Chains A and B, each alone.
Chain A
Amino acid sequence: MVKAVKGTFIECDPAAREVLLRLNSEEKFIIEDLDRTHLFINSTHFERIQRVLDELMDANTYKANVVS
C-alpha cells in the first residue's frame, strides 16, 4: 500500500527559515530542508505556521497611536 502525505513547497528568506526550523524542534513538520531559502513541509501544519509568522512580524512592528 502506498502512504501519501501532502506536502507544501515553501520559499522564504533565511530569517523566516530560522524561525521555522525553531518551530520544527517543538513539533515536526519539515519533511525536507532544501537550502537557505527553500523548505518542504507537511501541509497540515501550514495554517498554523503562517499564523505564528504573522504574529512574529506584528510584534516587531510599531503601531502608532493615532489621535482622532
Chain B
Amino acid sequence: QARVFPTADDTEGTISKDGIITQKVSQMDDVSLGGLPKPPAKPSAGGEDGGDVDLGAMAVLDNEDEDDDDTEGIVHSFEINSDSYEDVRKRCNEIDYPMIEEYDFRNDKDNPDFNIDLKPATTIRSYQEISLSKMFSNGRARSGIIVLPCGAGKTLVGVTAACTIKKSVLCLCTSSVSVMQWKQQFMQWSTIKEEQIALFTSDVKMRFQGDAGLVITTFNMVANKRKRSHASQQMLEFLENHHWGLMLLDEVHVVPANMFRNVVSRIVAHSKLGLTATLVREDEKIDDLNFLIGPKLYEANWMDLANKGHIATVQCAEVWCDMTPEFYKAYLEERSRKKLLIYVMNPNKFRACQYLIRFHEARGDKTIVFVDNVYSLIAYAKTLGKPYIYGVTPQAERMRILANFQNNPMLRTIFLSKVGDTSLDLPAATCLIQVSSHYGSRRQEAQRLGRILRANRRNDEGFNAFFYSLVSKDTQEMLYSAKRQQFLIDQGYSFKVITHLEGIDECPDLVYGDEESQKKLLHTVKMASDADAAVEKKGAGEEGPGQPRGARRTAGSLKGLSGASNMAYMETSGSSRRGPRNEPPEHHPLFKRHFGTKK
C-alpha cells in the first residue's frame, strides 16, 4: 500500500518533502505515535510546500499493522503547509485518496478548554443523535456537513457539537436575526453563561471573558475585504489570531460563493460543522464544499421525519392560472425582464391568490404569501389589503408585524419578499402561497417550504400544512416552476396540479373581475420600469460593513460649522486610492529649479 513506511530514521522521510520539517519532529512526537512516514507520491503537492512551514494542518493516517491482532492502531502523522491546505485536499480527491478532517479534541492541550454542557433538561431526538454519532464516531471530531430539513432542530445539533468539543466556538450565520436566534438557542439548551458569548454584527461588537468562549457573527462581517471600521478591524484580527476548536456554519450552502470561501481558509478552526437543509446550488460550486468543509456526514429523510411528527406533513400543489389575452399579448411582445413582471401581475393570479387566502383564513390557517419581486409585492399587498415585509422595512416594523402574525387572531395573512426565505421562525404559519420566485432556484423553494415545517400544530391528528405555487400558464414560469420542484420531489413530496380552483367563479367580489380593470392593470404594469422587474437583491435589509445608515448627524456650534474654528482649507490631489502618480509634470527648464527636480 502506498501509505506508510515507518522509517528508522525519522528525518529521512521528510527531507524529500521539505527540509525544514525535520526540526519540528520532536514537537510532534507527543501528539502522535510512531515515526513519520515517507509522504505518498504527490508530485504537484510536493512542489507547493516549499518554503517555511507553519504549524498548520496535521494530516493523520490511521494504520493498523498487517499481521496484528492489536486493538490499538498506530497513528502516523506529518504536517503540511497551511497555505497549500486546500490544494492538498483537492489533489488527494483527484488521486482517489480523499482526506477527512478530524480533530482530536480530547488530547488537545494547546487550546484552552471551554466548559459548557447541555442542560440536563435538553433531549436530543433520534435523528439528531445519529447525525452527531457520525461526526464523533472515532472519538475525534470529524469535519463535515449535516443536512436536516428546516425546523428539524439543526441549531440543537450545533449546540450539542459545541458542548462535546468543549473548545472555543465560532458560529457563522446568514443574518443578524439568526445571530440573535443562535444566541438565544445556546442560552436555552446549554449551560453557557452570557459573558461567555460574544456577538459580532454591524451594531454590536463584543468580546468574551476568559480564554475560551463563543463568538456568533455573520458571513458578511468576516468575508468582506473592504476597509473596515476600527472596531471591526480589531475584532477581525482577534478572530483570525484565535484558535477555534469548532466553526459552525449555518446555511452552509452559501459558503461556496466566492465571497465567502476565503472565510474558511483565513480563520483557523480545528473542526468545521456545516448545517443546512438544502445542499443544492444552481451553479456547480456545491462540490467545492467537499474540500472547503468536509463530506456530507448525514442527511435526514424528510418523509421519515414528517411521519414521526418532527416536521409537519405538507400538501404541495401547483395552481395553473390562465393569462388573460391582453396580458398574454403583452407577454409575447416583451423581450426584456419585464416578462417576469407581466406574468406575475396576471389578474387571474390575483384572483386565485385572493380566493386561496380567503379559503384558508376561513379554515383558521395562518398564511404567508411569498412574492419575490418588490413591485408586485407592493401591488399585491396593497390591493388585497395585507401587511408586507421586504428588504427596506425597518427592523422595528418587521418585529411588530411578525409578532402580530404570531399572536393576533385578527392578522392571518402576511406578504413577504426574499427576506422571509431563511431563518424566520414562524411556528404559527400553516399555509404558504408562492406568487413569484427567483427563476429556477430549487434551494429557495425548499427553504420557503421550511417556514411551515415547524408548525406548532403539526402533531395534531390529520394535520396538513399547505404549499401552493401559483403559475401563469403558457409562460416561462411553468418551466421555472417545474425546475424548482425537483429538490422537493427528490425528498418525497409530490406536487398536485390544480388547473381550476373549485368555487372561484362563485366567489363574490374578487379583484380584477372585469376586463376594464384588467386593462388598467396592464397599463400600470407597462408603465413600470425595467428596474422594477428585477428580483430584490438579497441582503438589502442586512448590514454591510461600510454602509451609511440613513442620515448622518454632526454636532457643533454654528461658528464651527461655518468654518470659523480652526478649520483650514486644504486641497489634495485626489484620494489615496488612486494608483501611483503618472510622471510628474514637465516643467520648462527655466523654472525647473523653482519647482525642484522630481524623481
Footprint of B on A, CB under 8 Å?
Answer: 13-19, 21-22, 36, 56-57, 59-62, 64
* CB atoms of A19 and B486 under 8 A apart: no
| CB closest chain-B residue, reference A21 | B329
* CB atoms of A15 and B486 under 8 A apart: no
* CB atoms of A60 and B474 under 8 A apart: yes
User: Which chain A positions have C-beta within 8 A of B478?
Assistant: 60-62
| CB closest chain-A residue, reference B481 | A62
* CB atoms of A61 and B479 under 8 A apart: yes
Task: State A14–B476 Cα separation when bound (angstroms).
Answer: 17
Most chain-B CB neighbours within 10 Å: which of A14, A17, A60, A64?
Answer: A60
Out of B332, B481, B486, which one reaches A18, CB within 8 Å? B332
Any chain A CB within 8 A of the CB of B323? yes
Task: State A35–B95 Cα separation when bound (angstroms).
Answer: 68
User: Which chain A positions have C-beta within 8 A of B486?
Assistant: 64
Q: Nearest Cβ distance between residue A16 and chain B, in whole angstroms?
A: 8
* CB atoms of A14 and B479 under 8 A apart: no
Any chain A CB within 8 A of the CB of B266? no
Against A, the Cβ 8 Å flags (1 = close, 0 = not) of B490-519 are 000000000000000000000000000000
* CB atoms of B325 and A17 under 8 A apart: yes
20 residue pairs bridging A and B, Cβ less than 8 Å apart: A14-B322, A14-B325, A15-B322, A15-B323, A15-B325, A15-B328, A15-B474, A18-B329, A19-B328, A22-B329, A22-B332, A22-B333, A56-B474, A57-B474, A60-B478, A62-B479, A62-B480, A62-B481, A62-B482, A62-B483
* CB atoms of A19 and B482 under 8 A apart: no
* CB atoms of A15 and B479 under 8 A apart: no
User: Which chain A positions have C-beta within 8 A of B476?
Assistant: 60
Any chain A CB within 8 A of the CB of B473? yes
* CB atoms of A19 and B332 under 8 A apart: yes
Task: State A60–B482 Cα separation when bound (angstroms).
Answer: 10
Count residues of chain B with CB under 8 A from any CB of chain A.
19
Q: How many pairs, one residue from A and one from B, have CB atoms within 8 Å of each other in the complex?
A: 43
Task: State A27–B405 Cα separation when bound (angstroms).
Answer: 55
Q: Nearest Cβ distance between residue B516 and chain A, in whole angstroms?
A: 16
Q: Nearest Cβ distance between residue B479 and chain A, in whole angstroms?
A: 5
Known: A57-B474, A60-B474, A60-B475. A14 touches B483 (CB 8 A): no
Q: Is the interface of B mostly helix, strand, loop or mixed?
A: helix
Task: State A23–B479 Cα separation when bound (angstroms).
Answer: 23
| CB closest chain-A residue, reference B478 | A60
Q: Is the interface of A mostly helix, strand, loop or mixed?
A: helix
Any chain A CB within 8 A of the CB of B181? no
Task: State A61–B480 Cα separation when bound (angstroms).
Answer: 9
Any chain A CB within 8 A of the CB of B354? no
* CB atoms of A14 and B475 under 8 A apart: no
Most chain-B CB neighbours within 10 Å: which of A15, A16, A57?
Answer: A15
Task: State A4–B473 Cα separation when bound (angstroms).
Answer: 38
User: Which chain A positions have C-beta within 8 A of B324?
Assistant: 14
Across the A-B interface, the 6 shortest Cβ-Cβ residue pairs = A62-B482, A14-B325, A18-B328, A18-B329, A60-B478, A15-B328
User: Which chain A positions have C-beta within 8 A of B480?
Assistant: 62
* CB atoms of A14 and B328 under 8 A apart: yes
Which residues of chain B from 460 to 492 have a CB within 8 Å of any chain A CB? 473-476, 478-483, 486
Q: Nearest Cβ distance between residue A10 and chain B, in whole angstroms?
A: 15
| CB closest chain-A residue, reference B440 | A62
Known: A15-B325, A17-B325, A18-B328. A61 touches B482 (CB 8 A): yes
| CB closest chain-B residue, reference A22 | B332
Q: Nearest Cβ distance between residue A39 and chain B, in whole angstroms?
A: 13
User: Which chain B positions have C-beta within 8 A of A62?
Assistant: 478-483
Which residues of chain B from 316 to 333 have a CB within 8 Å of any chain A CB? 322-325, 328-329, 332-333
User: Which chain B positions have C-beta within 8 A of A16?
Assistant: 474
User: Which chain B positions have C-beta within 8 A of A22?
Assistant: 329, 332-333
User: Which chain B positions have C-beta within 8 A of A15?
Assistant: 322-323, 325, 328, 473-474
| CB closest chain-B residue, reference A65 | B486
* CB atoms of A18 and B479 under 8 A apart: no
Task: State A34–B387 Cα separation when bound (angstroms).
Answer: 44
Q: Nearest Cβ distance between residue B346 and chain A, in whole angstroms?
A: 11
Task: State A57–B478 Cα separation when bound (angstroms).
Answer: 10
| CB closest chain-B residue, reference A63 | B482
User: Which chain B positions have C-beta within 8 A of A56?
Assistant: 474
Most chain-A CB neighbours within 10 Å: which of B322, B473, B474, B486?
Answer: B474
Task: State A57–B482 Cα separation when bound (angstroms).
Answer: 14
Task: State A14–B347 Cα separation when bound (angstroms).
Answer: 15
* CB atoms of B479 and A60 under 8 A apart: yes
Q: Nearest Cβ distance between residue B334 and chain A, in whole angstroms?
A: 12
User: Which chain A positions have C-beta within 8 A of B475?
Assistant: 60
User: Which chain B positions have C-beta within 8 A of A59?
Assistant: 479
Task: State A16–B323 Cα separation when bound (angstroms).
Answer: 10
| CB closest chain-B residue, reference A13 | B322
User: Which chain A positions have C-beta within 8 A of B322?
Assistant: 13-15
User: Which chain B positions have C-beta within 8 A of A60?
Assistant: 474-476, 478-479
